Amino acid sequence: MKDSGSYQPYSYFQLMEVSLRELLVEKGVLTEEQIAATVEDIRSRTPERGARVVARAWVDSDFRARLIANGTRACEELGLDVPALRLVVVENTPAVHNMVVCTLCSCYPRMLLGIPPDWYKSRNYRSRAVREPRAVLSEFGLDLSQEIKIRVHDSTADMRYLVLPMRPAGTAGWSEERLAAIVTRDCMIGVATPKAS
Q: Active-site residue among 11, 44, 105, 122?
A: 105
Cα dihedral 142, 156, 105, 187 in deg (nearest 10): -20
* Residue 61 known to be catalytic: no
Known catalytic membership, residue 4 = no
The backbone torsions φ and ψ at residue 169, rounded to the nearest 5 degrees and listed phi first, read: -60, 150
Q: Which of 75, 102, 155, 187 is catalytic?
A: 102
> Identity (one letter) of the amino acid at 78?
L
Specify whether 106 is catalytic.
Answer: yes
Strand-pairing partners, residue 87, are 160
Directed axis angle between helix 32-44 and helix 12-26, to 10°? 130
Question: Among this protein's residues, is 105 annotated catalytic?
Answer: yes
Q: Phi, psi at residue 77, to the nearest 5°?
A: -60, -30
Q: Strands (DSSP E) along 66-189, which ranges?
A: 86-91, 96-101, 149-154, 159-164
Write out the catalytic residue numbers. 102, 105-107
